[in-house]
A and B are shown apart, each in its own frame.
Chain A
Amino acid sequence: MNQVGFPLLSLITWLPLVGCVVILSVRGDEETVASNARWTALWTSLIVFALSLLLWAKFDTNEPGFQFVENIPWLPEYGVGYKLGVDGISVLFVLLSTLLTPICILSAWEVIRTGVREFMIAFLILETMMVGMFCALDFVIFYMFFEGVLIPMYLIIGVWGGPNRVYSAVKFFLYTLTGSVLMLLALLAMWFQAGTTDITVLLHTQFAPALQTWLFLAFLASFAVKVPMWPVHTWLPDAHVEAPTAGSVILAGVLLKMGAYGFLRFSVPMLPQASAMFAPLMFSLSVVAVIYTALVALAQTDMKKLIAYSSVSHMGVVTIGIFTINMQGVSGAIFQMLSHGIVSAALFLIVGVLYDRLHTHEIDRFGGLADRMPRYALFFMLFSMASIGLPGTSGFVGEFLVIVGSLQVNFWLALLGGMGMILGVAYTLYLYRRIIFGRITRDDLKNILDLSPREIAVFVPLIALTLWMGVVPSSFTSFWDASVGAMVEQHTAALASEVKVAKVAPNEMPAGEVMR
């Protein structure tokens, strides 16, 4: 079934590469090439974004299954195919990726001066990889895109990053690759079992509980690093600090969502028994992440590190939500992922504005900017409020739904998982105060300029989305309500059937109560 009559997902996925070819084919002096690369990259990404809006328009929100499916046999004898499709869980992440790419390109417009062509190519390849990963309906394809993301990102940090970029880039690469190798093993194991790598088939394949345990751990190794969950999070602050602004934006905005998406796509639906079994572990790690990293954020002296740690804290809320495996919890987790994608991206752009002017992220170097930069102060305030989850902004909805979802599991999970609400205020407002409030004391700040029109153009769509998601969140949740509902139902049914088969305490509790 394909609502639009042409392979839309393939087009969105591969079109950026066409842009790369165009950029590569330009000849001339350095300035021409650079300017050409910028405009080509921007237009390519804008066309891709426009195309992806078709997904928004044509997506059938009542259909829980996959839509816009494309299926081309590739290695039929091995059960491997080129299969793309989106459901309610993945569709908005495609849009998030296609939205953030032009924003990143625009934000890097004047900032990247060396190797503009290569930078833009790296970004377009990155877009292909991200979109492909969210669309993939075949595990092999998924794996290729999932790993493929690493290469352009590695280059973006390693080539255009800060002074310590090589250490950070290698750390980023090794951390994320190590986990991925274990996922490859899991992939092979699943293929042995099911005889295919078609995700739609795998979603309905029952794996033996013992195998599920091993598969879950293998996935955990891979996805936990990507999320990142405590204690494998330390690559993130380093990567952020060294990455150029655009790199940080896409890293925080999209790449961090890959791990959580993996949990949602593979771990929870394919391994229901293992998910239920490991849920307490996931909750513990997540609660530690929420509280621990929020406290660490409070102690930071570098803006980017602070926001990086706050990302870990926010993603902790996401992993809590996912493993509650009930409607509100999962729904809240997805919402939080999208919201964090917008808000943390915006916060890194906010930091980038100052970095472009003074080439430092040190918090102590700033202070009293409200006098000179009122517009900047307003935008920063708005995103700070979204980050601490003020109702009316996008940050609140996900966090609250996760609290509702986790209260269905355990009171303390809800209370401790919600600690981010309190600690978030501390580090966010403390940061805001040190940068924006007070008096200007340093000479180089006395002539600092407020946002330029280009910078405003970068922020406006993000502001609009933050408020839209906060005021009318139902226009987003409706996309995944059906899919998440089906997933939760399937999970409950899978656990119930196991209870029946195993004949564990037949009189003790009705099937629906298992989760409590």
Chain B
Amino acid sequence: MIYAVAVFAPLLGAIVSGLLGRSIGDRAAEAVSILVMVVAAICGVTSFIWIGFLHEPDGTVDIGSWVVSGSFRTSWTLRYDTLSAVMVGMVTFVSTLIHIYSVGYMEHDAFPRYRFFAYLNLFTFAMLMLVTSDNLLQLFFGWEGVGLASYLLIGYWYDRPSANAAAIKAMMVNRVADLPFAVGIALVFLTFGSIEFPIVFAGIQQHMNDMYHVLGSDWRAYEVIGFLLFIGAMGKSAQIFLHTWLPDAMEGPTPVSALIHAATMVTAGVFLMARMSPIMSYAPGALTFVTIIGGTTSLFAATIGCTQFDIKKVIAYSTCSQLGYMFTAAGVAVYQASIFHLFCHAFFKALLFLGAGAVIHAVSGEQDMRKMGGLWKKIPITYTVMWVGSLALAGIFPFAGYYSKDAILEAAYSAGGVGYYGFWCGLIAAGLTAFYSWRVIIMTFHGPSRMDHHVEEHVHESPWVMMGPCIVLAIGALIAGFTLRHEFIGEGWPEFWRDSIVITASNHVLANMEELPGWVGIAPTLVGLLGIATAYTFYMFVPSLPGRMASMFRPIYLLFYNKWYFDEIYDALFVRPGFWIARTFWQVGDVTLINGVPDGMAALTADGARGISKVQTGSLAVYAFVMLIGVVVLVALYLLIR
């Protein structure tokens, strides 16, 4: 089946270009890895159309058994339903474009390139395994697989200490979240007796009121599961408290950022919520938590995005913020809207990163926007695609973001309760999003040039191998919203999603979205336009204003600029104490205390032996007497204990 080809072709590419890369050369390795991706994309998009629009019935592709122990059984199985197919189509398509773009971007890299392309293939494969899994453990396989690939790619330039640090940080933070996730999977097994989706989902009603005892009281098992799984999702999708790895992940080459932020990795958490919707929908407590975290993240990350100067960091925080939107929607159990935003976001975020990559390429590797400016005449295509991406991100009609982001805000509002929190956070964040997007555009492309003239002389439009993918993505960012709206979140959703997304019978959020007060629908656009206008005022018309504002609200500015001091706090709370405890355990615990006792005893024995040797007199009588005493003692002990 073509579905399996779509999943395994990238693995083949990773093996061939990774293991044989040195012998067949960089060009051949690139060719192989792009070829397999094109095959995967053709198969993936075909499957998406087949399953999503031509209503091919759901099913599975069995490959073999995996972990089996008693009643615990998992297998390697590819599941195809609409949710998986949407992800497969999107991942293979966007990833292929990023692969092609990378050929141009990595052209002048000092390292051998086959390694880079093998990692990209591996990354895509892991993500595909994640989204097509039919049980939680295979999902976890893909989950950890994208973790590994991101570690390898973030640390791709392994001679840079900062890249190595960022790579380890990404893996560490993810692992912190993965442990609760793994425990959550175990709890699913304990509750349902299986972790295979068909069995679990069939048992939803039966285990509805199962209780689980933890933290001193009984909770509904679904709530505990929901919390544990969501903590896993927070790590992978970089939600507040576990987001610190994502901005640092910018240490990798720009195509990697595009891959991490758009197609693979960070979307995994959102996907997990949608995939587990049958359980999550019945865990209202956990969902409330999801909305709070999602809403907070969308606002929090946007505030940081407004103050950063590194072009990639701004876009990175915008990803963080957009993921917050997706969780806001998941939290009010409108998974359709989260996946719709995920899908649209993949296009415009990949576009923004690839566009930013083209800018960086044009200015000889500079990423600081304070050293750019006035580029728009020199690289007009890049300028145009960045506009398209920003319009989509800011949610301006008729770009993709307009449909998906509005849907999320409307859903949050119509859900009420905690949804209002999500709505207001999201609405303010929408304004900030538009503001920092145009801040990027104006600082990068307009105003006087702040480059030194060596750089300026070399400014050039990127080659077609890089601009081609950008243009395709720009078209996607333009049309994805209105072409797919009907199926994803409109009246067509029941036929489109079928059983792959489950919401409770009492959940009418999607239907209620039509009957909201008029201002709710218009507000995001108005706020977005306001943000754009503010950005123009700040950076185009009154360029002295940002500096004055920064000094006027200095504490707030510093808080945002320093990313709310999360890194510093974590460093003081976990990293440094961790190393301190490690050294203490070693030097005091092991070397002094634990080793001290036997070593001391050894010394004692040595001294004792010298004393005892004096007792060895050679007199038989003494020996016999001592032996007798020994026998008496033994007999006495025996009688006593008996």
Contact = CB atoms under 8 A, between A and B. Distances in A.
Interface of A: 171, 174-175, 231, 233-234, 237, 292, 295-300, 327-328, 331-332, 368, 370, 374, 385, 388, 390-392, 396-397, 400-401, 403-404, 407-408, 411, 414-415, 418-419, 421-422, 425-426, 429-430, 433, 436-439, 471-474, 477-478, 481, 484-485
Contact of B141 (A300, A331, A391, A433): A391
Nearest to B224: A411
Given A296-B585, A473-B68, A485-B70, A404 B186 contact: yes
Interface band, chain B:
35 or more
Nearest to A231: B594
A327 B67 contact: no
A404 B176 contact: no
Interface in B132-153: 137, 140-141, 143-145, 148, 151
Contact of B70 (A298, A331, A396): A331
Given A296-B582, A407-B183, A433-B168, 15 more contacts: A175-B598, A234-B594, A298-B578, A327-B70, A392-B144, A401-B67, A403-B186, A407-B187, A411-B214, A426-B172, A433-B164, A437-B155, A437-B164, A473-B68, A474-B68
Contacts of B518: none
Which of B69, B70, B180, B598 has most A Cβ within 10 Å? B69
B118 to A, nearest CB: 11
B549 to A, nearest CB: 41
A419 B172 CA distance: 12
Given A171-B598, A401-B69, A401-B72, A414 B186 contact: yes
Contacts of B148: 385, 390
Contacts of B67: 397, 400-401, 473-474, 477
B323 to A, nearest CB: 22
B158 A370 contact: yes
A437 B159 contact: yes
B220 to A, nearest CB: 15
A422 B582 contact: no
A473 B159 CA distance: 37
B179 interface: yes
A374 B151 CA distance: 17
B554 interface: no
A22 B140 CA distance: 52
SS class, residues of chain A in contact with chain B: helix
B161 interface: yes
Nearest to B140: A391
Given A390-B144, A391-B141, A422-B175, A438 B586 contact: no
Interface in B458-474: none
Nearest to A385: B148
Given A392-B141, A407-B190, A295 B69 contact: no
A498 B158 CA distance: 61
Contacts of A299: 579, 582-583, 585-587
Contacts of B179: 415, 418-419, 421-422
B157 to A, nearest CB: 10
Interface string B22-41: 10000000000000000000
21 contacts: A171-B598, A174-B602, A297-B582, A331-B70, A332-B69, A388-B175, A390-B144, A392-B145, A400-B182, A400-B185, A407-B187, A418-B179, A421-B175, A422-B175, A425-B168, A429-B172, A474-B67, A477-B68, A481-B68, A481-B69, A484-B70
Nearest to A232: B594
Contact of A474 (B66, B143, B164, B172): B66
Contact of B578 (A234, A295, A429): A295
A425 B148 CA distance: 11
B595 A234 contact: yes
A391 B67 CA distance: 11
A391 B145 contact: yes
Nearest to A392: B141
A438 B165 CA distance: 11
B182 A473 contact: no
Contact of A368 (B65, B155, B159, B589): B159
A414 B183 contact: yes
Interface string B58-85: 0000001111111110000000000000
B168 A430 contact: yes
Contacts of A401: 67, 69, 72
Given A298-B578, A328-B69, A472-B64, A429 B595 contact: no
A241 B183 CA distance: 35
B56 interface: no
B170 to A, nearest CB: 10
Nearest to A389: B144
B126 to A, nearest CB: 9
A390 B174 CA distance: 12
B581 interface: yes
